[in-house]
Structure 1
Amino acid sequence: MKPSHGPDRLDDDDYPAYTMGRAAEMIGATPGFLRAVGEAGLITPLRSDGGHRRYSRYQLRIAARARELVDQGTPVEAACRIVILEDQLDEALRLNAELRRAEDA
C-alpha cells in the first residue's frame, strides 16, 4: 500500500498534484481548454476539499496530446476521442507484449 504523503507520491503519475492554472500553463492551454476536455470525457480531475480541480501528470500528458490535435485543426470532441483510442491501443499493446513474454517464459 502506498503512503498518502511523502516522496513516493512525487513519482506517482496519478497523483493529482497540479491546480487548473498550473496544469493549463504546463501544457500551454487555457483553463477553458481543460474544462472542455473534461466535459468531453477525456479526463476527470480530482477535486480538492475546497472543490478545486487537481490534475495528475498522466492527465496532463493526455490533455497535451489533445491540445496538439486541436492545434492541428481537429475539433475538441474528435481530438478527445482520438486520444482515448490511442490510449486504449497503447494499453492493449502493452498487455499483448506482457502476455507474449509470459508465454515465452
Structure 2
Amino acid sequence: MTADSPLGDRLDDDDYPAYTMGRAAEMLGTTPGFLRAIGEARLITPLRSEGGHRRYSRYQLRIAARARELVDRGTPVDAACRIVILEDQLQEAQRINEEYRRAAGADRSGD
C-alpha cells in the first residue's frame, strides 16, 4: 500500500477514526472508562464502527489528552471537559478575530 492510496490518505487525516477504544486508552495512558466519561460529558463523540465499537481520531485524542492533563492535576472530569471546550472556543474566537483584523488592515491599505 502506498502513501497515495485511499487508506494512506485517511490515516493522514486528523479526523479519521483510526483508533479503537483500547488503543486510544493505551496511547493516552488512561482507561476506557476515562474515554467513556469524557464522551458522556460531550467533550468528544467517537464514531462507531460497523460493529458498534467506538473509534477515535487523532484530533479527538489530542482533546482527550488535554482533559487528562487537567484530571491528573485534580480537576474533576466534568470540569476538565468544560475547560477544554472553553479553551477551544476561545482559540476559535481569537482565530476569527485575527482574520477580521487582517481583512480590516487590507481594506485600509487599499484606500
The TM-score with structure 1 as length reference comes to: 0.90
C-alpha separation between the residues in 2 aligned to 1:99 and 1:11? 30
C-alpha separation between the residues in 1 aligned to 2:28 and 2:96? 28
Q: Residue 100 of structure 1: CA displacement?
A: 1.6
**Identical-residue share of aligned pairs (%):** 83
Q: Which residue number in structure 2 is paired with residue 101 of structure 1?
A: 102
Q: Residue 52 of structure 1: CA displacement?
A: 0.4
C-alpha separation between the residues in 2 aligned to 1:22 and 1:52? 12
Q: Residue 7 of structure 1: CA displacement?
A: 2.4
| 3-state SS, counterpart of residue 54 of structure 1 | strand
Amino acid at match of 2:84: V
Residue-by-residue CA offset, 1:52-82 (whole Å, 9 max, x unaligned): 0000111111111110110001110011001
Q: Which residue number in structure 2 is paired with residue 69 of structure 1?
A: 70
Q: Is residue 46 of structure 2 the alignment partner of residue 45 of structure 1?
A: yes
Q: CA RMSD in A?
A: 1.0
C-alpha separation between the residues in 2 aligned to 1:70 and 1:57? 20
Amino acid at match of 2:10: R
Amino acid at match of 2:15: D
Q: Is residue 12 of structure 2 the alignment partner of residue 8 of structure 1?
A: no
The TM-score with structure 2 as length reference comes to: 0.86
Q: Residue 20 of structure 1: CA displacement?
A: 0.4
Alignment length (residue pairs): 101
C-alpha separation between the residues in 2 aligned to 1:60 and 1:80? 13
C-alpha separation between the residues in 1 aligned to 2:101 and 2:10? 31
Q: Residue 99 of structure 1: CA displacement?
A: 1.9
Amino acid at match of 1:18: Y
C-alpha separation between the residues in 2 aligned to 1:37 and 1:56? 14
Q: Residue 41 of structure 1: CA displacement?
A: 0.8
